Amino acid sequence: MVGNQSDASGQRAARVAEKAALRRELLAARRARSPESLRTAARALARSASGLPELAGAATVAAYVSVGTEPGTRELLDALRSAGKRVLLPLLLPDNDLDWAVYEGPDSLTATAHAGKMALLEPSGPPLGPEAVTGADAVLLPGLAVDARGMRLGRGGGSYDRVLERLERAGAHPALVVLLYDEEVVARVPEEPHDHPVRAVATPSGVVRFEGLGGSPGPTA
């Protein structure tokens, strides 16, 4: 029994180390992008993601405001709002969990400082509570990579792991979509038991769909 526990601990430590190394590599590639390439990618991402049926048919979309060199979401947020969608944006809580508020346009965003983190642009409207995400028809997830099975590699902070756990507890099944750069769709990412597959990934050049864990990629839009 002790041997099995030791083996499991060693395997988990190896996966954690593998994830950390892959995150460093992907973040370095993002930092190397020029401001112009970031702007071009954001425009293209807004076009490809806006065409997703999961977003076109959604009344409420939980999204996020991109920061730094993340794939830009500002144009996509405005496109969703212009299309009549109710867009929820996160408010980071002290324990790294997420509350939510409605996006009311670019002027409604406020730069908020959080201990140990860069300032985040957050909605200034009234908080709706962490459970508000369970009413979304689609959830846009940040990430660093997704693999051929639809498994997502996040930044490692745990905020969206909590969101996904909350959705599971509530029996909610919104469409989960990751927003990435083209080269961040990879063959495989290290997987842990708490990781969840996503339905699709949107990149500047198009969309790839997944049938779920173990499923094959769907057609690229």
At 163-218, the pLDDT tens digits run: 999 999 999 999 999 999 999 999 999 887 777 889 999 999 999 998 643 333 44
Q: What is the DSSP letter of 202?
A: E
- pLDDT of res. 218: 43
Q: Any residues with CB less than 8 A from the CB of 18 and at least 6 apart, and which?
A: 190
**Contact criterion met (CB below 8 Å) for 189 and 156:** no
What pLDDT is attached to residue 192?
74
Residues 6+ apart with CB under 8 A from 7: none
Question: E strands within 97-156?
Answer: 98-102, 109-114, 117-123, 138-141, 145-147, 152-153
* Total-model pTM: 0.87
pLDDT digits (tens, 9 = 90+) for 18-56: 889 999 999 999 999 999 999 999 999 999 999 899 999
To which residue do tokens 């970031």 refer? 38
